[in-house]
Amino acid sequence: MKKLSLIVATFGMVGLLAACQKVSKEDVTRLFTQDLATYETTFHQANPEVKVSDIEIDFDGKAIKVAVKGQDAERDYETSMTYDGAKILKERSEKLDREDKQEAPEVLTNLKELATLTELESALKKEAVDIETIESMELGKELGQNIWEVQTKEGRQEFNYFFNAETAELIKKERD
């Protein structure tokens, strides 16, 4: 019985350690060298006529996952891909309900005109953000303006940073 308890405890600890592993600093650094247009191109392979409305970058677990979202008159679309945009991991679409059909989606402007991820990384460092504390990033529209929202967790404190996506200038910082 003691052997069985020890084995279960060992497997539990291994699972816990695996769950606690973070994305490597090298992967985060490589992410910030990516061209946003790569994500748009990969999204359009699956959804050629759909305009991009959001790009979400999630740093949970051992891998960086990118989800690109869009909407047409009838459906919502989401394509999940590797952080380099080279491989589609999952695609989904869902029919819009009546209320969503009446709202016009806010579409991102030309991604080639936005600040690069490298410029965003510089702006984060200027705010003394350690890129290893980033939990997620989302590029979307707010009040007609393209905005990057970057969520970090520093110890027990969580912060949201909002950057102008064209200039990479900090708009505001909030503590959660």
State the amino acid at position 80 in one-letter form.
S
Q: Which residue is it, tokens 């980033």? A: 134
Residues 88-115, mean pLDDT to the nearest whole number: 84
Domain count, the chain: 1
pLDDT at 116: 87
Q: Is the pLDDT of residue 5 over 80?
A: no
Residue 152 falls inside a structural domain: yes
Whether residue 123 contacts residue 168, with contact meaning beta carbons closer than 8 Å, is answered with: yes
Q: What is the pLDDT of residues 51-69, one digit of tens each?
A: 999 999 998 777 888 999 9
- Residue 160 clears pLDDT 60, i.e. is over it: yes
The residue length of the chain stands at 176
Q: First vs last Cα of the chain: how many Å apart?
A: 46
Average pLDDT over residues 114-121: 89
- The answer to whether residue 7 is domain-embedded is no
Q: Is residue 98 part of a domain?
A: yes
Cα–Cα dist 28/31, whole Å: 5
Lowest mean pLDDT among 53-67, 68-82, 160-174: 53-67
- Whether residue 164 has pLDDT greater than 90: yes
Could you list the residue range(s) of the whole structural domain that residue 98 is in?
Answer: 22-175
Q: Is residue 113 part of a domain?
A: yes
Q: What is the pTM of this model?
A: 0.79
Q: Considering only CA atoms, which of 67, 168, 163, 171 is closest in space to residue 116?
A: 168
Name the token pair of 58.
Answer: 């999630």
**Alpha-carbon distance 33 to 144, whole Å?**
26
**Buried b or exposed e, range 85-96, using 16+ CB within 10 angstroms:** beeeeeeebeeb
